[in-house]
Amino acid sequence: MSGHTPEEIHQEVRRYLWVFGLLIIGTIVTVAASYLDLPSFAWTVALALLIASVKGFFVAGYFMHLMDEKKMVYGILGSTVFFVIGLMFLTIWAMSDPPTNTIYP
């Protein structure tokens, strides 16, 4: 991260407190949203994951300083994201190809 002068650190601290407030609000909204009467369960899942992703963005971006990191870190995380997406796609593909003939006489 940048910001190493005392002024910049104080600025960072103010930002941390803002993010803290947003995370608290995000948690309350997550719980409140789960009680909403949405058209389908898919909407409930999408909304819950959207709020969780926003909260995750704030934690990773500001607390873990990913908003202002070196290319090396982005490279490591970029390759990780690639493989995680691949993993999730494997799950989706597996759903259309369920195991059959698993019971033998």
Partner 1 sequence: MEIPYVTEPRKDTGLYNAKVGIWLFLASEVMLFGGFFSAYILLRVGSVEGTWPTELLNVPIGTFNTLVLIISSVTVVLAWSALKLKQFGRYKFFQAITIICALIFVCVKSYEYRDKFTHYDVILNDGTRVDGHLVEKTDEYITLSHPLSYPAEKGIAYRPIAIELRDNPPADAETAGHDGDAAAAHPAEEGADEHATTSDSHGDGHGHDLTIQMADVKKMTNWGPWANTYFAIYFTMTALHALHVIGGALVIAYLWGPGAKMWKTDPERYTNRIEISGLFWHFVDLVWIFLFPVLYLL
Residue closer to partner 1, measured from CB, 34 or 67: 34
List phi, psi (to 5°) of 104.
Answer: -105, 145
Q: Enumerate binding residues for partner 1 (CB under 8 A).
A: 4, 6, 9, 12-13, 16-17, 19-20, 23-24, 27, 30-31, 34, 44-45, 48-49, 51-52, 55-56, 59-60, 63-64, 70-73, 76-77, 79-80, 83-84, 87-88, 90-91, 94-95, 98
Distance of CA 22 to the CA centre of its chain: 15
Q: Which residues contact 63 (CB under 8 A, 6 or more apart)?
A: 16, 19
Q: How far is the CB of 24 from partner 1 (least distance, A)?
A: 6
The three-state DSSP-derived secondary structure of 80-93 is HHHHHHHHHHHHHH
Residue closer to partner 1, measured from CB, 5 or 105: 5
